[in-house]
Amino acid sequence: MSGAQDYQPPRVWTWDKESGGRFANINRPVSGSTHKKELPVGEHPLQLYSLATPNGVKVTILLEELLEIGRDAEYDAYLINIQDGDQFGSGFVEINPNSKIPALLDKSTSPPTRVFESGAIMVYLAEKYEGFLPSQTGKRAECLSWLFWQMGSAPYLGGGFGHFYAYAPEKWEYPINRYTMEVKRQLDVLDKNLADRQYLIGNEYTVADIANYGWYGAVVLHNIYEAEEFLDVTSYEHVVRWATEIEQRPAVQRGRRVNKVWGAEDEQLPERHSAADFARGRSS
C-alpha cells in the first residue's frame, strides 16, 4: 500500500507542535484561551462571531432567510479569523469554550444567552423566530434527524477526507480510501433521499437543507478540497439539483458572503451590521 511506513505508537502520546500539516498552528490538545482579547459588540440583540466556512455559513444563511420572511432577526456579524488564532481569545472562549466557530450571543435575554455549535445555534434561532423548523411532530422529527445527520457526518468529510486528501503533509492511501468511501456513502444517502423529494424532508425548505447545503453544496458545486473529479460529484445528480436550487435563493447568496475574506472581492463581507453592507461589500 502506498504511503505506508513503520510507525509504532508510543506508550504515552505527547504533542509535537510541528506535526499536523497545514493547520498545525491552530490545533492543540488543550482547551481555553491563549490571550486576552475582548470581542466587539454591535447594536443588535444578536451578535455572531464566525467565519464563512461550511459551518459558519449555515448560521448566516439562516439569519438572512429569517430576515427575508420578515422576522426581526437583525444581527451583527464579526469575523473570527481562525488562522490568526482569534478563536483562542478570552472573549470568544467565554462564549464558546470549545474554541470553534460559529458562536452566538443573544443580548435580548437577561443575562445574555450564549449558544455554540452550529446545529444548536440553528435550532435556537429557528425556535426563537419561528421559521424553517416544522411544528408538526413528524416533520419536525424528520427535519431534526437530517440536521443531526449532518452534524454527525461532516467530521468525516472535513476532518477526515478533507484533511487527508488536501491538507495532510503526505498522501496516505489508507486514510484517503477510508474517508473517501464514507464521503461517497454520505453523498449517496443524500442523493437517494432527494430522488423523490424537492428538499430533504419533502417540499418544505428547512434548517436541515441549510445545514447540509453548507457542506455538501460546497462539495458538489464549489470543488471543496479540489476533489470534484476525484469524488465524481456530478454523478450525484439529485444532490446537484438540490444544491443548485438552494444557491439561487437571495438569502443564501447573501449569507454565503458574510464573514468571508477570500475569493473575489465583490463576494467578501468581513463584517455585517445591516442589509446595506451587502452593497458596500469588502470595504465594510
pTM: 0.95
Say whether 252 sits in a helix, a strand or coil.
Answer: helix
Please name the fold of domain 46-132+256-283: Glutaredoxin (3.40.30)
Q: Are 28 and 56 in contact (CB under 8 A)?
A: no
Judged on CB neighbours under 10 Å (0-12, 13-18, 19+), 143 is buried
Q: How does pLDDT run across 212-228, given as a tens digit for each residue?
A: 999 999 999 999 999 99
List C-alpha distances in Å: 158 to 49, 134, 166: 21, 28, 10
Q: Which three cell numbers stand for residue 258?
A: 458574510
Q: How does pLDDT run across 74-127, given as a tens digit for each residue?
A: 999 999 999 999 999 999 999 999 999 999 999 999 999 999 999 999 999 999
Residue 35 DSSP class: B
Strand bridging mode 113-116 / 46-50:
unpaired
Please name the fold of domain 137-248: Glutathione S-transferase Yfyf (Class Pi); Chain A, domain 2 (1.20.1050)
Q: Which three cell numbers stand for residue 259?
A: 464573514
Residue 234 identity (one-letter amino acid): T
Q: What is the DSSP string of 199-237?
A: BTTBS---HHHHHHIIIIIHHHHS-GGG-HHHHTGGG-H
Domain range list for the chain:
46-132+256-283, 137-248
